[in-house]
Amino acid sequence: MKSTEYNYDIVRSFVNWSVLWGLVAVLVGVIVSFQMVDPRLNFPPYLTFGRLRPIHTNAGIYGWGVGVIFATFIYMVQRLCRTPLWSPKLARFQLWFFNATIIASAVTLLMGYTTSKEYHEMEWPIDVMVVILWVVFALNIIMTIIKRREEHMYISLWYMMASLVGVAILYLVNAAAVPVSLFKSYSAFAGTNDANVHWWFGHNAVAMALTAPPLAMFYYFLPKSTGVPIYSHRLSIIAFWSLLFMYLWTGAHHLLWTPVPDWIQTLAMGFSVMLIAPSWGSVINGYLSMNGQWHQMRENYLVKYLILGITFYGLQTIQGPMQAIRTFSAFIHYTDWVPAHIHMGTMGWVSMICFASIYYLVPRIYGKKLFSIPLANLQFWLILVGQLTWSFSLWIAGVLQAGMWTAMNPDGSLTYTFMETMVEMYPYWWIRSIGGLIYFVGVVVFIYNLVMTVRHGEIASTEAAAEGRA
Amino acid sequence: MWEKKPILLLLLATAAILVGTIITVVLPFAWVNTEADRIETVTPYTALQQEGRDIYIREGCNNCHTQTVRPLVAEVLRYGDYSKSGEFVYDRPFLWGSKRTGPDLARLGGKYPDAWHYKHMASPRAMVPKTNMPDYGWLSANQLDPTMIKRKMDVLGFPYTSDELYSLADKNEMDALVAYMQKLGSDIPWRNAAATTIVGNLKNPYADSDHSTLEEWEPLYEENCEACHGEHFEGDIGPELDGASMEDTELFEIIYNGVPDNGMPPFAGLGADKVWQVVTFVKYYNQGEDH
Amino acid sequence: MDLASILYLGVTFGLFVIFVLIVLRTYSKKRKDEGEIAKYRMLDDE
Ligand code: HEM
Ligand code: HEM
């Protein structure tokens, strides 16, 4: 079949840059982790924990996560629609504007220009840049879908579209602020209202950036890697609508026991538990697609990443609803348990899927065979061990900490002072840092493998190579 | 239907997103921060305090500190009265936080004297040897900018006087931060209400301890008192302690409930048993080996 | 029952009906082939 003239050029650029930002995110993660065990590593005013931590989180979510979203969406939309990208020029602009936005974010955060709202720290001029970026991206994807040459829209396209509108709505509402100067603004909402709006944003950033897009990738790259179709397209559709509908109710599970009205908290709790169903809809769909294909877990490193990724997603979406229950929240909220939850999601689920997607893409967009499959397997074990070390140490730490915070003497007084509980965290924070280092080495191996593939990889089969040059 | 019509799918997706959004995010504006939430004694930030708040935000203190006390037994004991919606009506943005690497600060105001904060911010490890809080002494070197602060107050619509702004010129960022911290959570008079009245006869269960037992309790003093009363009771932020001159019960009352208006924090959170140990240590340690 | 509870139950029930309708529609026999076609089409695009 004569293949369409897909635009891979831009996909290559997005892959390269997102990988770079991924490296930065993980590196800064390791730095802040060591700052927590040794405060002498703070170098004021710029390099203190308070300023670096938001750089870590934003580089992780927006530089790495969204960077890979840009790369994979632009690739998937062309293949699934059997048509070239609507506007390559616009995509080029998007690439450079994306990098400018990430750099501007990092610089302003270092300078201390921040709104303090988690995952939305950047001040209003950068909000404006993000909005431009997203509109340009959404327009390109949607126009490509509209002029598609394949009538049926595969489920990945659905998740992509949902994420496009979802992010737009969330970001705009939560960005509402009154500027004082170029680098300072005050939120349009106050106190409890601000908290409620913000965590509606915060949790759905998880939904629209760290759930729907990786699901779109998973639904695409799993069948592509195994060569067998997804188990049930219709199941994925039911899961899609339920997920989309339910996620938006759950923001207040970050605000249990706070002054936010009780009924909002209760709704958030209920919907969080119900979310298990659509989340597991996708997990089960993934597992059942492996029917008769489980041997590929041994033979095909891509499948290994993807299935481990969806497994972490499955665990994440059981643990999350648990944390959303009032009694459990009373115990673990504010403790180190929560970062363990977060990193199973980001280092396990999101990053595993991103690594797999990039491993799948690189040979195809560069027309070269992967430099080394053993290295890809080595990376798999490094990041798996790194992440498990990270999360397990902090789950234990979190439970311990929660236990000590709530421990009471028979006479009704507290058993431990705050510092007595805090010093107990140090060993676990050390272990976490070491887990982070192992993960970091994994990422370095990944990048080495990619660079060697691009530089010295064998030219792949003529067909793939031809596609690569197209 | 929508399987083949992307625009329709986008519209339906938007609708699905909006239902939960409207119910849990838009509607609550009708109930939150309304008259029903208002607390008479809660006042807007002064120019100095607001600037301190902005420095708190700039330095990302919220990455380690939360500012909400939940209505849970252990939490109220540790930090103070639980937070009420009406206390936050002037907070733009909210600073409740999500992680307690350090303790909650919602009820910090009035817990320590100003001098404690200056010393602690400059070098947390000088006060609390094992803390991982960064040093912020460099804030003292930065003067405030009254013109900018005026613009901020205007945007927020908080009242201020020109004298107030004028006086900012010779203040630095540390002054502002400390002023902000002293305001936190102190708009409602919870501290006096929280003081525990001790019922029944007070009797020191450790009155007859020997000197080696006293030494076992020394860490309690070092961790909780030394920063203010000095290594050898000589005094620093707090007065010199002359334990021998005081009654056991008197000491117990002061340490257990503190002297909130004069900067001596309450240590009820340690539990009566440990407080008695500290009492015994403070009273008898200096009375020599022969005790 | 006051108006609030009736509204509440009504809305909940309405949502449930919409959900059931989506499930019924997606899984109707008529659409069996139609509903699953996309997953095969996406595989043979090379
Ligand atoms: C080697 C890898 C990593 C290390 C060592 C690391 C380390 C850390 C540390 C030390 C914190 C602060 C936790 C605290 O305040 O107690 C943190 C927070 C966070 N990290 Fe990472 N991280 C890594 C990878 C990632 C990746 C890949 C992402 C995203 C894609 C990510 C997203 C986040 C987020 C969202 C938070 C905020 C947690 C919260 O709000 O409580 N991290 N990370
Ligand atoms: C059904 C799905 C999920 C539910 C119900 C859920 C629930 C929760 C809850 C209740 C918290 C707050 C914990 C606390 O502070 O006490 C939380 C935090 C968090 N979760 Fe999940 N979770 C889910 C899935 C995910 C996934 C897939 C990710 C992907 C990475 C994720 C990332 C995060 C992050 C980044 C935070 C930290 C927010 C902060 O800064 O405090 N969650 N989640």
Q: What is the DSSP string of A316-370?
A: HHHHHHHHTSHHHHHHHTBSTHHHHHHHIIIIIIIHHHHHHHHHHHHHHHHTB--
Q: Name residue, tokens 């730095």.
A: A31
Residues with Cβ within 8 Å of C40's Cβ and at least 6 positions away in sequence, in order, are A229
pLDDT tens for residues A188-214?
999 999 999 999 999 999 999 999 999
Identical fold for domains B47-194 and B214-285, yes or no, is yes
Q: Which of C19, C35, C45 sits opposite A234 (nearest CB)?
A: C35
Interatomic CA distance for residues B68 and B84, integer angstroms:
9
Interatomic CA distance for residues A401 and A339, integer angstroms:
13
Dmax (CA) for chain B in angstroms is: 94
Report the neighbours of A using a cutoff of 3 or more CB pairs below 8 angstroms: B, C
Residue count of chain A: 470
Question: What pLDDT is stored for residue A422 in this prediction?
Answer: 96
Angle at CA of residue A275, ends A265 and C41, nearest 5° = 150
Interatomic CA distance for residues A302 and A369, integer angstroms:
14
Question: What pLDDT is stored for residue B269 in this prediction?
Answer: 79
Question: What pLDDT is stored for residue A264 in this prediction?
Answer: 96
Q: Pick the residue of B1, B4, B24, B87 with the most A CBs within 10 A to test the interface with A by mutation.
A: B24
Residue count of chain C: 46
The tokens for A9 are: 């050029």
Size of interface A-C (CB pairs under 8 A): 53
What residues of chain B lie within 8 A of the CB of C35, using their CB? 3
What residue segments make up the domains of chain B, in order of their start? Answer: 2-31, 47-194, 214-285
A254 lines ligand 2 (CB under 6 A): yes
What residue segments make up the domains of chain A, in order of their start? Answer: 3-467
Interatomic CA distance for residues A39 and A45, integer angstroms:
14
Please, what's the b/e burial string for A230-263 (b: 16 or more CB within 10 A of its CB; e: otherwise)?
Answer: bbbbbbbbbbbbbbbbbbbbbbbbbbbbbbbbee
Residues with Cβ within 8 Å of A129's Cβ and at least 6 positions away in sequence, in order, are A97, A100, A101, A104
Going from the Cα of B222 to the center of ligand 1, the distance in angstroms, rounded, reads 34
- Residue B99: what are its φ and ψ, rounded to 5°? -145, 130
CA A461 to each of CA A371, A464, B188: distance values in angstroms, whole numbers, following the listed order: 14, 5, 74
Going from the Cα of A330 to the center of ligand 2, the distance in angstroms, rounded, reads 15
Going from the Cα of A342 to the center of ligand 2, the distance in angstroms, rounded, reads 6
**CB-based contact A74:A129 (threshold 8 Å):** no
- The CA distance from C34 to the nearest CA of chain B, in Å, is 10
Report chain C's mean pLDDT, rounded to a whole number: 87
What residue segments make up the domains of chain C, in order of their start? Answer: 22-46
Q: Pick the residue of B77, B90, B94, B127 with the most A CBs within 10 A to test the interface with A by mutation.
A: B94
Burial of B109: CB neighbours in 10 Å, binned 0-12, 13-18, 19+: middle
| Interface contact C30, partner A, CB < 8 A | no
- Residue B43: what are its φ and ψ, rounded to 5°? -115, 160
Question: Which ligand is closest to the CA of A65, given by its number?
Answer: 1
**3-state class of A408 per DSSP?**
strand
Interatomic CA distance for residues A77 and A201, integer angstroms:
26
* DSSP 8-state code for residue A186: E
The pTM score is 0.94
Question: Which ligand is closest to the CA of A441, given by its number?
Answer: 1
The CATH architecture one would assign to domain B47-194 is Orthogonal Bundle (1.10)
Interatomic CA distance for residues B196 and A244, integer angstroms:
51
Interchain proximity A234–C42, CB inside 8 Å? no
Please, what's the b/e burial string for B84-106 (b: 16 or more CB within 10 A of its CB; e: otherwise)?
Answer: bbbbbbbbbbbbbbbbbbbbbbb
Question: What pLDDT is stored for residue C46 in this prediction?
Answer: 58
Interatomic CA distance for residues A117 and A187, integer angstroms:
10
The tokens for C44 are: 């043979």
**3-state class of A185 per DSSP?**
strand
Question: What pLDDT is stored for residue A470 in this prediction?
Answer: 31
What residues of chain B lie within 8 A of the CB of C34, using their CB? 3
Q: Please write down the HEC assignment for all residues of chain B.
A: CCCCCHHHHHHHHHHHHHHHHHHHHHHHHHCCCCHHHCCCCCCCCCHHHHHHHHHHHHCCHHHCCCCCCCCCHHHHHHHCCCCCHHHHCCCCCCCCCCECCCCCCCCCCCCCCHHHHHHHHHCHHHHCCCCCCCCCHHHHHCECCHHHHHHHHHHHCCCCCHHHHHHHCCCEHHHHHHHHHHHCCCCCCHHHHHCCCCCCCCCCCCCCCCHHHHHHCHHHHHHHCHHHHCCCCCCCCCCCCCHHHCCHHHHHHHHHHCEHHHCECCCHHHCHHHHHHHHHHHHHHHHCCCC
Interatomic CA distance for residues A264 and A250, integer angstroms:
9
**CB-based contact A54:A467 (threshold 8 Å):** no
Q: At what angle do helices A233-247 and A276-289 cross, to 10 degrees?
A: 160
The tokens for B276 are: 């008695």
Interatomic CA distance for residues A80 and A72, integer angstroms:
12
Question: What pLDDT is stored for residue B196 in this prediction?
Answer: 64
Q: Which residue of B has its CA nearest to A38?
A: B132
Question: What pLDDT is stored for residue A456 in this prediction?
Answer: 85
The tokens for A422 are: 């805090």
Q: Which residues of chain A are modeled with pLDDT < 70?
A: 1-4, 461-470
Question: What pLDDT is stored for residue B33 in this prediction?
Answer: 87
Report chain B's mean pLDDT, rounded to a whole number: 91
Cis previous bond, B219, omega within 30: no
Q: Which residues of chain B are modeled with pLDDT < 50?
A: 289-291
Residues with Cβ within 8 Å of B183's Cβ and at least 6 positions away in sequence, in order, are B45, B46, B49, B109
Look up the CATH number of domain B214-285.
1.10.760.10
Interatomic CA distance for residues B177 and B120, integer angstroms:
12
Interchain proximity A42–B99, CB inside 8 Å? no
Question: Which of A37, A42, A56 best tests ligand 1's pocket when mutated (most atoms within 8 Å of CB)?
Answer: A56
Long-range contacts of B151-155 (CB under 8 A, 24+ apart): B151/A180, B151/A181, B152/A180, B152/A184, B152/A186, B152/B50, B152/B51, B152/B54, B153/B47, B153/B50, B155/A178, B155/A180, B155/A186
Handedness of CA A218, A224, A229, A233 (dihedral sign): positive
Question: What pLDDT is stored for residue A462 in this prediction?
Answer: 45
CA B164 to each of CA A90, B156, B176: distance values in angstroms, whole numbers, following the listed order: 52, 16, 13
Question: What pLDDT is stored for residue A142 in this prediction?
Answer: 97
* Structure ipTM: 0.94
Look up the CATH number of domain A3-467.
1.20.210.10
Ligand 1 surroundings by CB, under 6 angstroms: A 25-26, 29-30, 32-33, 36, 53, 56-57, 60-61, 64-65, 118, 336, 338-339, 342-343, 346-347, 350-351, 436, 439-440; B 98-99, 101
Question: What pLDDT is stored for residue B1 in this prediction?
Answer: 67
